[in-house]
Chains A and B, each alone.
Chain A
Amino acid sequence: MAAYDLSLRVWRGDSDSGDLQDYTVGVEEGMVVLDALHRLQQTQAPDLAVRWNCKAGKCGSCSAEVNGRPRLTCMTRLNLFAPTDTVTVTPLRTFPVIRDLVTDVSYNYEKAAQVPAFAPGAPAGDDGHHRMKQSDVDRVQEFRTCIECFLCQTVCHVIRDHEENKPVFAGPRLMIRYAELEMHPLDTHDRRDLLRGRAGIGYCNITKCCTEVCPEHISITDNAIIPLKERVVDTAYDPITRLGNRILRRRR
């Protein structure tokens, strides 16, 4: 694939109004969608609003919808499309637009602020430090690879077209945050009431759309949400288990 002229269609506008605009941008081998957007900025649209930081798939800033699919624009190679294809880039649909491709993602930060902090128990080692086996933290580490790109949040149908669900559902990204804490070998908090309540885990009906778009390939549904649902159900409907848990926890 040598250099060619890419037909790029970009949503331009702000919170009041906006529409798709067509551009032709010269691109070369190896370029990603974000490169094409930058070139557009440098040559034709200097005020095109785009959020990005690392350009290496590590910070999760550059999320947008490319031909309707939520993606990291810095990790989306142009050779995914035929040179004759029009590539359409639009802002994440689930969040309010600030300008062009930049959206207001504060919903995610608000939900994060509701998660009770990590609360470790006493260290097990005689040197005053904790001990954890690698096999006990593998799962937690999987969740902690999350780069907070919010692609899973934007694709989740519970909130994608349902503004009314945002107050009652924290979204898949936050589900793995809860899961990470719940499954952390050292943590002593019990967040299950919260999960059932304010985080609204019951709204998820396991469509797995979130898992499909995760650029970190985190098994959001299978490894986080389903096990959390099981835990929540246990405590909700089984008073004996619940009592047992309480007693066990207190002994810790």
Chain B
Amino acid sequence: MSTSERHTYDVVVIGAGGAGLRAALEAHEQGARVAVVCKSLLGKAHTVMAEGGIAAAMGNVWPEDNWQTHFRDTMRGGKMLNQWQMARIHAEEAPARVWELEEWGAVFDRTPDGRILQRDFGGHRFARLAHVGDRTGLELIRTLQNRLISKRIDVFMECTVLRLLTVPGAADRPGAGRASDEPEALSAPARERSSARVAGRIAGAFAYWRESGTFVRFDAPAVVLATGGIGKSYQVTSNSWEYTGDGHALALWAGAALMDMEFVQFHPTGMVWPPSVKGILVTEGVRGDGGVLLNSEGRRFMFDYIPPVFAAETADSEEEADRWYTDKKTARRPPELLPRDEVARAINAEIKAGRGSPHGGVHLDIASRRDPEYIRRRLPSMYHQFTELADVDITREPMEVGPTCHYVMGGIKVDPSTAAATVPGLFAAGECAAGMHGSNRLGGNSLSDLLVFGRRAGLHAARYAQSLPAHKRAVADDAQIDATAAAALAPFAAALTPGSAQAGTASAEGTASSAGGTTSARDSAGTSVSPSHPPENPYQLQNDIQDVMQRLVGIIRTESELVRALKEIETLRSRARHVAVVGHRQYNPGWHLALDLGSLLTVAECITTAALARRESRGGHTRDDYPSADPAFATLNHVLRLRDGRLVLTTEPLPAMPPELAALFEDAGAESRADRGAPAGGKGS
């Protein structure tokens, strides 16, 4: 195998978005030898597309703001399903992370007295998003990127990880042998902690270079996953091509648990026209800065969709809503700024009721409400985006917008304070980690999330690696490498020799491979070519996966469709075994896509499985057949693991909040309590 290239590090960070860069900087700060491995060029990660800002209770605009209020907003936005410890850490530490960015060269918009300016956003009680016009993500990435460069941290650009390397046994028990099948070796509580399965621990990662198509092996006791989301499993998405759920899948295949995978955020405002730009994000900042949603009758329909839980703090007349922008003391917030799940559902309902705009969206109007100068200054990229791509001048006419797949709340199950996944040596931060946002994320909480938990992941990954002296750092066996490499190359054979028998290799360890079967190299199974099956085109397969998810596992879900989706995913999985690529290994996008199919199929199955199990509607998961929130589900999370190659779903009780934090929700009215559901400690089914 062409695996001669090999590197050794303390910490390997996978992903170079905000979370990955922040993790790498922190691990470096701790004295660890760090590498960043990323699918694209440095500075191109999806974080650059974040527009609105970084939520942090700095109190620069509203001195009344504090971490408790931010914590409360976050939990309520997540319909109380968040891991409260994460929401608390996040609210407490976010301000320090923003000020630190300024120290590192970020240039935020300013208040009149020279502080960092903060803007309003949906679900946030006070204006608390530190921002730079509508290109905050770019500012964040550049700042971290420049610092990374000045620290001379190694970056492997355009290098894609195919699998995580593991060795059997927990790190504190070296020489424990092949513990993966020996739960007896553990004490009962420990067994419970690890759900009766010790997957082993991390030993590194195995990747390929896009440019040359050759393989590269990283030996490292700690890996931080910071791979972002899963948007590319849907047809209409604001996400870039990289968002194929790699981190989710890599973690699952390595034995780690995923959580909350049913919760997918559809951002209410994506572009709907022209077709080729459908899904591209229109920042919530448009609404934060005064934009309103109108249906085809010109009605501000959001007033018709204020849920009881937010009624107490939402304006019920246009007059009050408009006053709020300048008078937050006596006026309540406009309904356009309700949490994203509420707004997305409302837009969806208006379109379905036939009150949509000409191209199947609704109108987002800021032109009639703010002067052109203000719009161009506050929303320069939106102005640019609409003039260039849609021939729409947003200072003169309304935009057409509709929901677009934007973010996954679910992800790798992590320890709230250390960001450690359930496999020793594995850490996760940012969008690919679960728990922080519960069932729905508030705008602005993503950039702060990836700074706060990126730092923590880097810190604890470095400490973990440093706690393992060299002789305890086991090295993965070559069988994992060989199997993955062979499977990765199989699609070439499939194209060259259609009709030949078994061109691919069966995985060296077939059991630990994919969710519910085998697909492409990503889950280390082989591509095989059977005489009866024609070669499959990776582009077509990706398209078909997106079609299934969009059609059957979209904003509104129902049991029969979810069951059908699982069947269709299974069919796609068997088709993916016959994926074939033409050309050679140098920078071959068809091949790269073929290798991404494994992750896409895995996350598709995870989302669908969890969505089927949650028979209620909450946040980013809406069931037509169970339209309201169910107290029985209010205190449990769905956890997914692979057992013997099959996806297994369990429920885990949500940790109970301590009384002093629970008290923050006391005045929020009965509806909020109902939403929280049964008292803490309720058992999961």
**Chain A interfacial positions (CB closer than 8 Å to B):** 14, 28-32, 35, 41-42, 46-61, 75, 77, 98-100, 102, 104-105, 109, 112-113, 115-118, 120, 124-125, 129-134, 137, 140-141, 144-145, 147-148, 181, 184
| Closest residue on chain A to residue B581 by CB atoms | A46
Given A32-B277, A54-B48, A144-B142, 16 new contacts (CB under 8 A)? A28-B276, A47-B589, A47-B591, A53-B44, A57-B385, A58-B135, A59-B48, A98-B211, A98-B586, A100-B587, A112-B146, A118-B105, A131-B115, A144-B107, A145-B135, A184-B107
Contact B110 A134 (CB under 8 A): yes
Given contact pairs A28-B276, A144-B142, A184 touches B589 in the complex (Cβ within 8 A): no
Q: Is the CB of B590 within 8 A of A46?
A: yes
Closest Cβ of chain B to A54, distance in Å, is 5
28 A-B residue pairings within 8 Å (CB atoms): A30-B274, A30-B275, A31-B274, A46-B537, A46-B539, A46-B590, A47-B581, A47-B591, A49-B587, A52-B241, A53-B46, A53-B242, A56-B277, A56-B281, A57-B388, A57-B389, A59-B240, A60-B44, A77-B388, A99-B211, A109-B149, A117-B150, A132-B110, A137-B110, A144-B142, A147-B138, A148-B43, A181-B105
Per-residue interface assignment for chain B, residues 268 to 294, with 1 indicating a CB less than 8 Å from any chain A CB and 0 otherwise: 000001111100110000000000000
With a cutoff of 8 Å between Cβ atoms, the chain A residues found around residue B46 in the complex are 53-54
The residue of chain A having its C-beta at the shortest distance from the C-beta of B109 within the complex is A134
A105-B41 contact, Cβ under 8 Å, with A49-B588, A56-B280, A77-B388: yes
The reply to whether A53 and B40 contact each other, CB–CB distance below 8 Å, is yes
Q: Does B57 contact A (CB under 8 A)?
A: no
Given A28-B276, A57-B388, A137-B107: A145 touches B138 (CB 8 Å cut-off): yes
A150 vs B586: C-alpha distance in the bound complex, in angstroms?
Answer: 23
Q: Does B296 contact A (CB under 8 A)?
A: no
Given the complex of chains A and B, what is the CA–CA distance between A238 and B116 in angstroms?
38
**Closest chain A residue, CB of each to CB of B149:** A113
A180 to chain B, nearest CB (A): 8
A48 contacts which chain B residues (CB < 8 A)? 589
Please tell me which stretch of B85-93, B96-104, B659-667 contacts chain A, meaning at least 4 of its Cβ atoms lie within 8 angstroms of it. Answer: B96-104
**What is the distance, in angstroms, from B374's C-beta to the closest C-beta of chain A?**
14
Q: Which residues of A contact B152 (CB under 8 A)?
A: 113
B277 touches A30 (CB 8 A): yes
On whether the beta carbons of B582 and A46 are closer than 8 Å, the reply is yes
Whether B588 contacts A47 by the Cβ 8 Å rule is yes
Q: Which of the residues B41, B45, B147, B590 comes within 8 Å of A41, measured between beta carbons?
A: B590
Find out whether the CB atom of A120 lies under 8 angstroms from the CB atom of B388.
no
Given the known interface contacts A53-B241, A54-B240, A58-B135, the answer about A147 and B589 at a Cβ–Cβ threshold of 8 Å is: no
- Asked if B336 CB lies within 8 Å of chain A CBs, one says no
Instruction: Please tell me if B216 contacts chain A, counting CB pairs below 8 Å.
Output: no
**Chain A, Cβ-Cβ closest to B591:** A47
Contact between B389 and A59 (Cβ–Cβ < 8 Å)? no
**Contact partners of A60 in chain B: CB under 8 A:** 43-44
The chain B residue with its CB closest to the CB of A30 is B274
Evaluate contact between B138 and A125: CB separation under 8 angstroms. Answer: no
* Closest-CB distance, B154 to chain A (whole angstroms): 12
- Cα-based distance from A115 to B590 in the complex (angstroms): 37
A-contacting residues, B346-398, CB 8 Å: 380-381, 384-385, 388-390
- Contact code string B140-157 (vs A, CB < 8 Å = 1, else 0): 001000110110100000
Other-chain residue from B107, B116, B133, B389 in contact with A75 (beta carbon distance below 8 A):
B389
B114 close to A (CB within 8 Å) = yes
Residue of A nearest to B60 (CB): A129
Of residues A58, A77, A129, A131, which shows the largest number of chain B Cβ atoms within 10 Å of its Cβ?
A: A58
Partner of B105, one of A31, A102, A184: A184
The B111-135 residues at the A interface (CB cut-off 8 A) are: 112-117, 132-133, 135
- Tell which of A42, A120, A144 touches B103, judged by Cβ atoms closer than 8 Å: A120
CB-CB under 8 A from A145, the residues of chain B are 135, 138, 380
User: B554 contacts the other chain (Cβ, under 8 Å)?
Assistant: no
- B545 lies within 8 A of chain A by Cβ: no
Interface residue? B409 (CB, 8 A): no
With A41-B590, A59-B240: A54-B49 Cβ-Cβ less than 8 Å: yes
Residues of chain B with a CB closer than 8 A to A120's CB: 103, 105
Contact partner, B589, options A49, A53, A61, A129, Cβ 8 Å: A49
CA distance A28 to B132 in the complex (A): 35
Q: Quick check: is B538 within 8 A (CB to CB) of the other chain?
A: yes
In chain A, what residue has the closest Cβ to B586? A99
CA separation between A50 and B111, bound complex, in Å?
42
Partner of A118, one of B43, B104, B587: B104
Minimal Cβ-Cβ distance residue in A for B112: A134
Q: How far is the CB of B541 from chain A (nearest CB, A)?
A: 11
Query: Which 10 residue pairs of A and B lie closest in terms of their CB atoms, listed nearest first?
Result: A30-B274, A47-B583, A131-B114, A118-B105, A46-B590, A117-B150, A49-B587, A99-B587, A134-B110, A42-B539
Q: Say which residue of A31, A49, A53, A124 sits within 8 Å of B240 (CB atoms).
A: A53
| Most A-side CB within 10 Å, residue of B45, B110, B152 | B110
- CB contacts (< 8 Å) of A41 on chain B: these are 539, 589-590
Residue of A nearest to B43 (CB): A148
Q: Is the CB of B590 within 8 A of A30?
A: no
Q: Which of A54, A144, A147, A148 has the most CB of B within 10 A?
A: A54
B139 within 8 A of A: yes
Complex alpha-carbon distance, A77 and B388, angstroms:
8
Q: 1/0 contact trace for B553-589 toward A, CB 8 Å?
A: 0000000000000000000000000000111101111
B611 at the interface (CB under 8 A from A): no
Q: Is the CB of B114 within 8 A of A132?
A: yes
The reply to whether A57 and B538 form a contact with Cβ atoms under 8 Å apart is: no
Say yes or no: A77-B240 contact (C-beta < 8 A), given A47-B581, A105-B41, A131-B115: no
Kindly state whether residue B42 has any CB partner on chain A within 8 Å: yes
Q: Which residues of A contact B582 (CB under 8 A)?
A: 46-47
- Which residues from B are CB-within-8-Å of A57? 381, 384-385, 388-389
The reply to whether A55 and B275 form a contact with Cβ atoms under 8 Å apart is no
CA distance A75 to B381 in the complex (A): 12
Please state if A61 and B105 are interface contacts (CB–CB under 8 Å). Answer: no
B273 neighbours in A (Cβ, 8 Å): 30
Measured CB to CB, the closest approach of chain A to B215, in angstroms, equals 18
Q: Which residues of B contact A104 (CB under 8 A)?
A: 211
